[in-house]
Structure 1
Amino acid sequence: MANVSGGKLTAAISAAGGLGMLGAGSAVTADWIRTEGAIAAAGGKPYGIGLMAWSVEHRPEHLEAVLELKPALVSLSFGDYAPYVEPLRQAGIVVATQAGTVADARAAITAGVDVIVARGAEAGGHGRNAVATLPLLQAILDLTDLPVLAGGGISGPRGLAAVLAAGAAGGWIGTAFLTCDEALTSEPVRQRVIEADETATVYGTVFDAASRAGWPDEFGGRALRNSYFETWQGREEELKTDDAGHAEYVEGTRAADPARASIYAGQGVGALSGRPTAAEVLDGFATYRTYLQAALNGDAK
């Protein structure tokens, strides 16, 4: 949720009954994390911060800022996060990591994390494209007694009811908040997200090759398909050294041009409409019990 979930959205989600997550991208400064973290914490509700392990390796000051803030939870994924688990836990912070395969989950257990996120291929943003959410969730639940959250394709209360019924401790939800009033999402991007249907996403490393941010090729990203992606798909290695292609992407990102910028979103994007508040989104998810009860009564629709 980098470039989407700043302190305002994080605080709003937590205030509405969820656990808001501050998206600390690799390009932000440690002071940005401190400032936005303070906004997230101002309401007095628990919140979390998301970091990428590959980025922390080069930006240790990100971890230092997080340890100063002491959020309730830190998500560390994508790279060698093991060295950071114990320092976070010693600070009283719950540590989560995203697993895209059973092998990822086994590594997380070995590393000593507190929570595993079963991140399916349907999910927006970065991760693996190997296994869908439901089969991955079932396999990881059979593997461990640790709390397991389900991420990927959970666009509303029906999806949340489904993963809770399977045994997940909760949902790890991002796409549903992309168009929220409190999000950092620009207006052109917000409108493009609203217009997208469930077939509009694509998975790959084109945007990472263009950005040169440092993402490992192992972890591609699911985003809305656009003309920039179509131009460079299959030419990612060429793009990594193509200065004109890089400049076009950077310019498109600065201009919030949906045709050139990366708009990370999951397959649940088709369910989005309008510009709700975070509280309204959470209120919708809170009706999941209706679907669980209907299933128990044998009258689910």
Structure 2
Amino acid sequence: MSDRRLSDWAAALGLAAPIVCAPMGGVAGGRLAAAVTRAGGLGMIGMGSAGSVPALERELRALDAGAGSGGAPFGIGLVAWGIARDPELLDRALAAGPALVSVSFGDWESPGGDAAWIERVHAVGAQAVTQAATADEAKRAADAGVDAVVARGREGGGHGDHREPLHALLAEVVRAVDVPVLAAGAIGSARDVERVLDAGAAAAWVGTAFAACEEALTPPGAREALIRGSGADTLVTRVYDVALERPWPRRFPERLLRTPFVDRWHGREEALANDAAARAAFAAAVDAGDYSIVPVDAGEGVGGVTRVRPAAEVVALLR
């Protein structure tokens, strides 16, 4: 990809490539963020449903320890309902001096919903970004003052409101808003990046392609599952959340690599919620790191993950 394709949005952040590493909870920590930023993209630290101030502190230390990371731009991604649970998490994120803060999985579909954080992000000189699953959701976010929206296609891995394919959603969002639009969902090659830039995106928001990187927080067994997986192996489900009683809203199931446990309980989540023995067995598998039982978040582009690579190599493959 020619550097001439660098959007004004990406250039303003000091990026050399229009690549943002999605803030995947439990995957995108400080080491990965530093490595992506050093390679010319925007690295992000993700605080998902298990996010906490101590966890963020730990990953910020890892970011600072990354060679060459001093003064380079980075972002932090938070979950809207996680901030409501622990407001101090946003306080610490803002104090870290990020160039960008994303807050997603809120209630943009209700007028006036989940917008209080935007002014606080702007007050520290950072960009405020959120994910959107519909053009209407994106427009409400833009009207509330975000600096960019992420058009998240249903192909993306992890939690989300899996509605429209990226190509359709991106076109609708670009038409609906005047702020820059980032594209997310099964972006795993330079051709994919070129395609979304041609469709009007300011940058690509990439998750699964970075999930098996050597700098990621991903456990070895989960990396192996990603390398073996294909898009056809993914499924959108609430099984993982129900099994661990995670408080994700029903609106945001997750795309993950199916396992026999997932296949057994998908569509039977209410029964799983009432089966304490099944949930206890699953929790034990999580503690043991048994990825023959425990699913791994992955988007439909997971087939492009063929080995453990340094993040710089992934950025180079996307450029």
Normalized against structure 1, the TM-score is what?
0.91
* Structure 2 CA distance for aligned equivalents of residues 257 and 237 of structure 1: 24
Partner of 2:187: 154
CA contact (8 A) 1:199 1:267 kept: yes
Partner of 1:53: 80
Shift of residue 39 of structure 1? 2.5
Partner of 1:23: 46
CA contact (8 A) 1:253 1:262 kept: no
Among all aligned residue pairs of Structure 1 and Structure 2, give the percentage whose two residues are the same amino acid. 42
| Alignment partner of 1:87 out of 103, 120, 130 | 120
Runs (5+) with no aligned partner, structure 2: 1-23, 108-113
* Structure 1 CA distance for aligned equivalents of residues 50 and 175 of structure 2: 37
Partner of 1:130: 163
* Structure 1 CA distance for aligned equivalents of residues 250 and 198 of structure 2: 34
* Structure 2 CA distance for aligned equivalents of residues 250 and 113 of structure 1: 38
Shift of residue 255 of structure 1? 1.8
**CA deviation profile, 1:76-128 (whole Å, cap 9, x unmatched):** 01124312111111121211100011121122113211110000000001111
**CA deviation profile, 1:180-224 (whole Å, cap 9, x unmatched):** 111111111111110112211000111111121210000111000
* Structure 1 CA distance for aligned equivalents of residues 317 and 190 of structure 2: 6
Specify the code of the residue in structure 1 equivalent to 2:86.
R
Between Structure 1 and Structure 2, how many residues are aligned? 286
Alignment of 1:86-235 (within 5 A): 86-235=119-268
Specify the code of the residue in structure 2 equivalent to 1:102.
A
| Alignment partner of 1:73 out of 74, 95, 100 | 100
Specify the code of the residue in structure 1 equivalent to 2:302.
V
SS of aligned partner of 1:270:
helix
CA contact (8 A) 2:51 2:82 kept: no
Which moved further from structure 2: 249-258 or 96-105? 249-258
CA contact (8 A) 2:25 2:51 kept: no
- The answer to whether the aligner puts 1:14 opposite 2:37 as a matched pair is yes
Root mean square deviation, CA, Å? 1.3
Specify the code of the residue in structure 1 equivalent to 2:165.
A
Specify the code of the residue in structure 2 equivalent to 1:105.
A
Specify the code of the residue in structure 2 equivalent to 1:25.
G
| Alignment partner of 1:263 out of 296, 301, 305 | 296
Shift of residue 260 of structure 1? 2.2
* Structure 1 CA distance for aligned equivalents of residues 120 and 283 of structure 2: 35
Which moved further from structure 2: 236-245 or 107-116? 236-245
Shift of residue 41 of structure 1? 4.3
CA contact (8 A) 1:31 1:65 kept: no
Shift of residue 176 of structure 1? 0.2
CA contact (8 A) 2:238 2:269 kept: yes
Runs (5+) with no aligned partner, structure 1: 287-301
